[in-house]
Chain A
Amino acid sequence: MASSPETTSPALPPGVKKTAPAPPPSGLHGIVAIPMITAAKQFTRSLWRPSTIVYPYERLEDPSFRGRVAVASGRPIGVGEVWDNYRGVHALNITTCISCNLCAFSCPDTCIEMVSVPTEGGKTKRCPQIDYGKCSFCGFCSDACPEGCLTMTTNYTLTTSRRPEMVYSPQRMYSIYHSKLPMNPIRLERPENEDCILLDQDLCIGCNACARDCPTQCITMIDIPKPEPAPGQKLPKRIWKEPSVNDADCVRCGTCISVCPKECLYWGARP
């Protein structure tokens, strides 16, 4: 009756494995030798170096610590170059940020706010400011960043005793960028046939708002011919210009859609 765990009973459908039934009680409740020997084996294995890591003194992400750690359970997988994939505190390169708002748009927790930061030449620029009290480190923002300026580092020590310190200003993330921590190198693959910006020509008034606010300057206003009004028909009051999107440069941030006063731009499949 005792079926070994390897046999498959003919009554069972294919692909089903019957596990071994419970061993009958041995009659002596004192038979505990095998578990005790198993525990003793582990005892001898962990005498020299247990599998735990003395955390504040040894850190897996510490480059100088890498290569040294080998514990009883083998080398932890996180040790080595793959630790670089870790999604920790963000680093922001202010100089390459194009203020496209994509990070703030893509944040599921709405923890990113675009704030003004001064740049060289007395100008200001809008860069993301992250509230780590809300952030869930999902990485959608760094996936969305078209310029690769908002990345995630391996730093995860955010502990603070005051709530305002959880808000990281762009300058603070810029200093993290300069600290040369390993950056998360993963880039999201973009779909090849991404939607592009389309124009409803009947509604456009040629106001130049989209071209003015486009962070990549990929929108140019081109002249369109002023049509001859049909008899009895009045031409619409507008500037006879129309935006043209350079699709190769467009990062699909949607700024033009949001600034358009006439709601004439929209997402659509590439014609």
Chain B
Amino acid sequence: MSATLYDVAYWISSHLLGALGGLPASSLPGAWGVGATALAWLITAAVVFAASLVNILVLIWWERKLLGRFMDRRGAMHVGFAGLLQNLADGLKLFRKQVFSPREADPLGYYLAPTAYLITSIVLLGFLPVSAGFVAGAVPLSLLLALAIFSFAPLFIFVGSWSSNNKYSLIGGMRTAAQMVAYEIPLLLSVVSVVILSGSFDLGTIVQDQARDGWYGAPLILGLIVFSVAILAEIERIPFDLPEAEAELVEGWNTEYGGILFAMTMMTDYIRSLVGSYLVVLLFLGGWTLPTWGGLGILSSFPLSGILWFQVKTYIVFGVFVWVRAALPRVRTDQLLQIGWRRMLPLSLLNIAIAAGWVLAGWPHLTWPSV
């Protein structure tokens, strides 16, 4: 049950190549082995990419439908069942548009930025476990790696905004940099509390610990809030969508992007939203596990139930993000930084202290010290 998606892909490709060359699949020689590895990588990447694309289509549909009901309207409803394919249609429309760049733009940075932004975000999905044993590539310390890659984005955003040679883009890029730096620290510090309780940097282990000891969202409710707020800022959603504040900055840092480039940045925003929701679920809400009290165990007993419940939880968390978007206005630059540095940072430190206190109290088998 610990085979990763890559292992499966390697098994398939090695057997395929072995059958082609009449060689034993278990020990492919030389170039055959390299080919099998490359084929396995391709299969893995294709599966992850396809899964993330499908997920994003559904995610955007979910946001549109939810926002619609919050706003007393209907949302997309014509293409496909209940408008499910509307996003596909929108994406196809964007893909068919002419690709152009401003005359004064720096082509290298202009084209590189959205591409790298997209790639680094999709890589994230490659090692986030979606259920027990279901992971594209098993990486030890996957939590650290996820957070490290997650924080690549401001660099590319800034490169893109600078290369666009547009004042709105530039201001948006500057804001992104300031915002991400300000919220990176509370994000990491609130993750530290989880690591303190779990003692592991591996996401799979953290989820298994939560299944055993109870979800960390309960003891670390403060950490959950801080982490969610920081993730909201990291994925640039209202109320922290300052880099894209469309009222003053037109379209923020991607003002000059159109067609497929805009589709890529848009897609990446939602991939990051998806990853953010995944992380919230994985770290604080028990991942793919459900409580097994009473008869509740039956809910997670059927095949692939882990993936189902993981997705359901993720979509609920994203629904809360949408709810926040429906109810709150955008904050101002200085207020954003003030919230980040003066509220979130002390709260996350306090959260670490709470986590340490739980450990001192003997988490998970609480033995209150008798004074």
The answer on direct contact between A and B (beta carbons under 8 Å) is yes
Identify the closest chain B residue to A39 (Cβ): B327
Interface size on B, residues (CB 8 A): 20
**B316 CB, nearest partner CB in chain A, Å:** 14
Complex Cα distance, B75 from A46, in Å, reads 12
**Alpha-carbon gap, A50 to B77, bound state (A):** 13
Separation of A54 and B75 alpha carbons in the complex (Å): 11
Tell yes or no: A179 within 8 A of B by CB. Answer: no
Cβ of A52 < 8 Å from any Cβ of B?
A: yes
A269 sits at the interface (CB 8 A): no
B100 at the interface (CB under 8 A from A): no
Q: What residues of B have a CB within 8 angstroms of the CB of A35 in the complex?
A: 327-328
Given B72, B229, B326, B327, which contacts A50 in the complex, CB threshold below 8 Å? B72
Whether a CB of chain A sits under 8 angstroms from the CB of B74 is yes
A181 to B235, CA, bound (A): 53
In whole angstroms, how far apart are the Cα atoms of A32 and B327 in the complex? 8
Cα distance A51–B69 in the bound complex, in angstroms: 10
Question: Which residues from A are CB-within-8-Å of B167?
Answer: none
Check: A4 CB closer than 8 A to any chain B CB.
Answer: no
- How distant is B226 from chain A, measured CB to nearest CB, in Å? 10
As a 0/1 sequence over residues 320 to 335 of chain B, the CB contacts with chain A under 8 angstroms (1 = contact) are 0001101110010001
A-contact 0/1 string along B326-348, CB 8 Å cutoff = 11100100010011000100000
Report B251-280 CB contacts with A as 1/0, cut-off 8 Å.
000000000000000000000000000000
Complex interface: chain B residues within 8 A of A36 (CB): 323-324, 327-328
A22 at the interface (CB under 8 A from B): no
Give the residue name and chain of the B residue nearest to A38 (CB).
Answer: B327
Cβ–Cβ contact A43 & B69, under 8 A: yes
A46-B69, A52-B74, A73-B72 known; A30 and B327 CB under 8 Å? no
A54-B71 Cα distance, complex, nearest whole Å: 15
Chain A residues closer than 8 Å to B338, beta-carbon distance? 29
**Which A residues lie within 8 Å of B71 (CB)?**
42
Consensus secondary structure, chain A interface: loop
Answer whether residue A203 sits at the interface, using C-beta atoms and an 8 A cutoff: no
Determine if B103 is an interface residue (Cβ-Cβ < 8 Å).
no
> Closest A-chain residue to B320, C-beta based?
A36
Question: Is A16 engaged at the interface, CB distance under 8 Å to the other chain?
Answer: no
Chain B residues positioned under 8 Å from A52 (CB to CB) = 72-74
Contact of B68 among A32, A45, A50 (CB under 8 A): A50
Are B73 and A51 closer than 8 Å at their CB atoms? yes
User: What is the chain A residue whose CB lies nearest that of B77?
Assistant: A54
On whether the beta carbons of B323 and A39 are closer than 8 Å, the reply is yes
In angstroms, Cα B327 to Cα A30, docked, is: 13
Place the interface of chain A in its size category.
20 to 34
CB-defined contacts of A29 to chain B, threshold 8 Å: 331, 335, 338-339, 343
In the assembled complex, how far is the CB of residue A115 from the closest CB belonging to chain B, in whole angstroms? 42
Is the CB–CB distance between A72 and B72 below 8 Å?
yes
Q: Which residues of the partner chain B approach A46 to less than 8 Å between Cβ atoms?
A: 69-70, 72-73
B77 neighbours in A (Cβ, 8 Å): 54
Please indicate which of the listed interface residues B69, B73, B331, B335 has the most CB atoms of chain A within 10 Å of its own CB. Answer: B69
The verdict on A230 contacting chain B, using a C-beta distance below 8 Å, is: no
The answer for the CA separation of A65 and B71 in the assembled complex, in Å, is 24
| A32 with B328: CB separation less than 8 A | yes
The contact string, 1 if C-beta is below 8 Å from chain A, for chain B 52-77, is 00000000000000001111111001
Residue of A whose beta carbon sits closest to that of B229? A30
Interface residues of A in 196-241 (CB under 8 A from B): none
Chain B residues near A50 (CB, 8 Å)? Answer: 68-69, 72-74
Bound-state CA distance A84–B271 (Å) is 51
Chain B residue nearest to A46 (CB atoms) is B72
Write out, one digit per residue, whether chain B residues 341-363 have a CB within 8 A of any chain A CB (1) or not (0): 00100000000000000000000
* A38, B339: Cα distance in complex, Å: 24
Inter-chain contacts of B229 with A (CB < 8 A): 30
A50 to B65, CA, bound (A): 12
Inter-chain CA distance A26–B113, complex, in Å, is 41
Assembled-state Cα–Cα distance A28/B347 (Å): 12
CA separation between A57 and B74, bound complex, in Å?
14
- Interface positions, chain B 156-195, Cβ under 8 Å from A, are none
Q: Which of B323, B324, B326 has the most chain A CB atoms inside 10 A of its CB?
A: B326
Chain B residues within an 8 Å CB radius of A51: 72-73
> Can you list 15 A-B contacts with CB-CB less than 8 angstroms, sorted by A residue number?
A29-B331, A29-B339, A29-B343, A30-B229, A30-B343, A32-B327, A32-B328, A42-B70, A43-B70, A46-B70, A46-B72, A46-B73, A50-B74, A72-B72, A73-B72
Given contacts A30-B343, A35-B327, 13 further A-B contacts (CB under 8 A): A29-B331, A30-B229, A36-B323, A36-B324, A36-B327, A39-B327, A40-B327, A43-B70, A43-B323, A46-B69, A46-B70, A50-B69, A52-B73
B residues near A (Cβ < 8 Å) are 68-74, 77, 225, 229, 323-324, 326-328, 331, 335, 338-339, 343
